[in-house]
Structure 1
Amino acid sequence: MKKIQNLFLLLASGVVLFGCGGEPKVEDDWKDLFNGKDLSGWKPVAGTATFEVVDGVIEGSAVAGSPNTFLITEEQYGDFILELDLKVEHETSNSGVMARGQFDPTARDGKGLVYGYQVEADPSDRAWSGGVYDEARRGWLYPLDLNPAAKTAFKMGEFNHYRIEVIGDEIKTWLNGQEVAYVVDDMDKTGFIGLQVHSIRNPEDEGNKTYFKNVKIKTTNLDPQPFNSSIYVVNNRLNTLTDYEKNTGWNLLFNGQNSDGWKGAYKDSFPDFGWPVNEGILTIAASDGKESANAGDIVTIDEFSAFDLGFEFKLTEGANSGLKYFVTLSEGNKGSAIGLEYQILDDEKHPDAKMGRDGNRTLSSLYDLITADKQPRFMKPIGEWNKGRVVVEPNNHVTHYLNGVKVLEYDRGSQEFRDLVAISKYKIWPNFGEAEKGHILLQDHGNEVSFKNIKIKTLQ
């Protein structure tokens, strides 16, 4: 009788509940999505790669000529915490885990298409495992250039433990206990869990396997795990910071409502025309394409030394603008105020892209000094929002990013930097770019360009 009573108490507490006949197990609000015996509750879609259960492990095998194939849950999920173990044994076996995945069965002539949030397994030298990719839709949301410390977390040929939190509009990932990615995005509210076998380019790679086990999910009594370190957040809310960002030192430079915190360059107040704020967007109005000849540049009232600066910009066709930093306003020059410039430009339609040296006046370059090393796949088309980022470390090491990917780096004040200044348009300005502190500037170049989500963190 005592054994029966103990069993009853164990079941009633919800601590452990075992199903029969291969049913998934529920433990402490966790549910096993994979029963260890068969693929009950799952189905393959979008490709012809195969999945089978061997010794309690799901083995996905690559098939030549197949597109990306996904084993997806039949059930849909909203908010959840997902944990699983994943192993790849070959560098071509790129994989990933769909979180709130979507499926269009009519796409690709009825073959179907999986799209949506995917947490990456990247065994290549790029090492972006744990980053967040928007499969078959927007591309990379969180490349690991944003968190290089996490690039060593993935272990080739071993089972890697993934933890994925998708709660509200926040996606957070861990890989083998390492904090990896933090994305705030609300495009999908619900969707399936999916396990990917990637397409292969070379027929000789057919049969390469990807392994999954210990797949479990929690959808009730969610207990988000805090990040202990300070990592960059890709925040797609409009002009809003997460509590995590606020607690780690971030502040908005543009509040989305008015021009507070800004003024005209060489002016005491904000321009009374030419820089409207509408629906959370700050825009420089088009005029005649001349540099700072209409409303003029605007600068932050505050000055900054070492900082991490994030911003989004949207170009119109043929447009030119720029974000400058270490602007001292001491030169008293005509035209745009002087400073180091993150170039904002339509490379295809604006003539400035063909000027300078070796493309050093193109998008995201350090204007007239260093050319951005960027790939077209990481650039958004004209009319869409691109994400810029400039990091100036206390040791004066500077990095430019475009849509989360590092495109250049340099050291302010180094001999290499000074040699570049000496052959640039800035050679007439003593100690150009080496000020201890300066304003952030948005440029009026006579073309319509919009800005939002401008945020900054002071670095110590």
Structure 2
Amino acid sequence: MKVKNFISILFLTISTILVTNANAQDGWENLFNGENLDGWIQRNGEAEYEVVDGEIVGTTVAGTPNSFLCTEKNYSDFVFEVELLVEPNMNSGIQFRSLSLPDYNNGRVHGYQCEVDPSERAWSAGIYDEARRGWLYPLDLNPDARKALKMGHWNKYRIECIGNSIRTWLNDIPVAHVIDDMTSEGFIALQVHGIGNNKEKEGEQIKWRNIRIKTENLVPDFYSDIHVENLVANNLNIVEKKQGFHLLFDGQSTDCWKNANTGEFPEQGWQVKNGVLTILSSRQDSSKKGGDIITKEEFGPFEFKFDFMYTDGANSGVKYGLGNNGPSIGLEYQILDDEKHPDAKKGVVGNRTMSSLYDLIPSSKERRFTKGPNEWNRGRVVVYPCGKVQHWLNGRKVVEYTRGDNIYKALVARSKYAGFEGFGMAEKGPILLQDHHDTVHFRSLKIRNL
């Protein structure tokens, strides 16, 4: 053996021993010994995984699906850290609390994934639900974090899972915060994304090193003020409370709401059941219609989050900017079955479709970020003090405009609201949930003043 090679191996061995001892003293456990893949098992695809110079190297292979190098052990609550170096055109991810079950897509790995995305999209450390629900936290929700990944350098990822709180960091920058209770335990896995049959992408590599986990005496890291995507129904977590959110519906009480015309909550037409507030269909008997409901509280600038589920062919909406033209005339976040309701084809260039500013601005949404009938969608309306307004759907911004500017005035002048003076310009008003005769479900209604 050459002296140079011997010294390199000796240095690597000593470094590994020192790091292992240091980690053990503060509760960290190394998941990779720097020498081989003991403690790991490969699932699904046939990408190449090997150990080179104390690093795990993953290499793309054509003609095989996503590949996952998985820990043999499962983990529930933990803090996980890894350093990785990824090539510019490659996609990867870190699975956690993930599963591979014979009765789920023939053992397809599924569960939470911390994204590795060196593309122009730059959603690294966003949270994706692999082979299940899709994107939970795209970086539209935290655009400042899109610059966190450093190309050509080693990047430090950190994942914290404590209870239903899931948080990620990239190079010490807070990136994503999801509250979710779908899966509480599972393995960790290093993904090499499939490349189909594209031979030109074969041989691309990602490298991982310094892989460690801590599972005892966990203390949540400092809570940053980034957006929280809370998927637990009718729940406020500690960060949302600090940000000023409060529930408008807690799953049981309708105390925050009243009929838009009578001032009392409707005796019929609305139902609270299993933590869900539901408009009941009155298509067959209009006398059973409950009518629109509005919040008892009025709001100026605000951020309103809401989950909604529409049924086949349904129509409803969330209205705001009310007060200048009666109790029910205002700006509307459209809720609609675009495939089956005829209103989707009316208006101009789709400005009556799902999540649009009704009859004014069409939403710019992608099909894969839109859930269909009888599935929960996550809506969000933000009205800023400066007049800027945004509509969000499932973590993506789909509408943005400035209330009261010349473009807004021109849009109103060409809409069905042209005859309403000061349309949508009330400085303060309630939030309205529209009864359009169709069954639509709501939950997780929460709001804060801005």
TM-score range, shorter chain: over 0.9
- Which of 62, 65, 79 is 1:64 aligned to? 62
8 A Cα contact 2:325 2:421, kept in partner: no
Gap change, CA 1:106 and 1:441, over 3 Å in 2: closer
Residue of 362, 367, 376 corresponding to 2:367: 376
2:98 equivalent among 101, 110, 131:
101
Paired AA for residue 69 in structure 1: S
CA contact (8 A) 1:292 1:444 kept: no
Out of 184, 193, 199, the residue aligned to residue 198 of structure 1 is 193
Provide the residue aligned with 2:237 in structure 1. Answer: 242
Query: Who is 2:422 aligned against?
Result: 431
Q: Please name the residue that 1:29 is paired with.
A: 27
Note the C-alpha offset of 1:262: 0.9
| Equivalent runs, 1:275-424 vs 2, <5 Å | 275-288=270-283, 294-328=289-323, 330-332=324-326, 337-424=328-415
Deviation at residue 280 of structure 1 after TM alignment: 1.1
Check whether the contact 1:179–1:227 (CA below 8 A) recurs between aligned residues: no
> Is contact 1:319-1:447 (8 Å) kept?
yes
1:207 partner amino acid: G
Q: How does 1:74-93 map to 2 (within 5 A)?
A: 74-91=72-89, 93=90
Shift of 1:275: 1.1
Native 8 Å contact 1:79 1:167 kept in 2: yes
Aligned equivalent of 1:452: 443
TM-score relative to the length of structure 2: 0.92
Deviation at 1:27, TM superposition (A): 3.6
**Map of 1:261-276 to 2, 5 A cutoff?**
261-276=256-271
Contact 2:88 2:119 in 1 (8 A): no
**CA–CA distance in structure 2, aligned partners of residues 445 and 373 of structure 1:** 24
Q: CA deviation at 1:157?
A: 2.1
Separation in structure 2 between the aligned mates of residue 242 and residue 293 of structure 1, nearest angstrom: 37
In structure 1, distance between residues paired with 2:186 and 2:287: 48
Task: Evaluate the alpha carbon distance shift between residue 279 and residue 224 of structure 1 in structure 2; reply closer, same or farther with a 3 A threshold.
Answer: same
Q: Is the 8 A contact 1:34 1:216 kept in 2?
A: yes
Q: Does 1:139 align with 2:134?
A: yes
Count of residue pairs brought into register by the alignment: 434
2:296 and 2:386 map into 1 onto residues whose CA distance is 24
CA contact (8 A) 1:289 1:447 kept: no
2:121 alignment partner, SS class: coil
- Superposition deviation, residue 331 in structure 1: 2.3
Tell me the amino acid that sits aligned with residue 76 of structure 1: N
1:107–1:294 CA distance, 2 compared to 1 (3 A): closer
Change over 3 Å in CA distance of 1:423–1:179 after alignment to 2: same
RMSD between superposed Cα atoms in Å: 2.1
After TM superposition, give the deviation of residue 163 of structure 1 in Å.
0.9
SS in structure 1 opposite 2:350? coil
SS in 1 for 2:282: coil
| Alpha-carbon offset, residue 398 of structure 1 | 1.1
Q: AA paired with 1:403?
A: N
Counterpart-to-counterpart distance in 2, 1:384 and 1:231: 27
SS in 2 for 1:327: coil
User: How far apart are the structure 2 equivalents of 1:432 and 1:53?
Assistant: 65
Partner of 1:49 in structure 2?
47
Distance in 1 (CA, whole Å) between partners of 2:410 and 2:152 is: 46
Amino acid at match of 2:98: G
Q: Quote how far apart the aligned CAs of 1:291 are.
A: 9.8
Distance 1:159 1:289 in 2: 63
Q: Do 1:23 and 1:35's aligned partners in 2 also have CA atoms closer than 8 Å?
A: no
- Give the direction of change, closer, same or farther, for the CA distance of 1:210–1:290 in structure 2 (3 Å limit): farther
CA contact (8 A) 2:80 2:213 kept: yes
CA distance in 2, matches of 1:311, 1:243: 18
Q: Structure 2: how far apart are the matches of 1:105 and 1:240?
A: 33
Identity over aligned residues, as a percent?
54
- Aligned counterpart, 2:169: 174
Unaligned runs of at least 5 residues, structure 1:
1-17
Q: Which moved more, 1:243-252 or 1:292-301?
A: 292-301
- Partner AA of 1:152 in structure 2: K
Amino acid at match of 1:331: N
Q: Is the 8 A contact 2:85 2:206 kept in 1?
A: yes
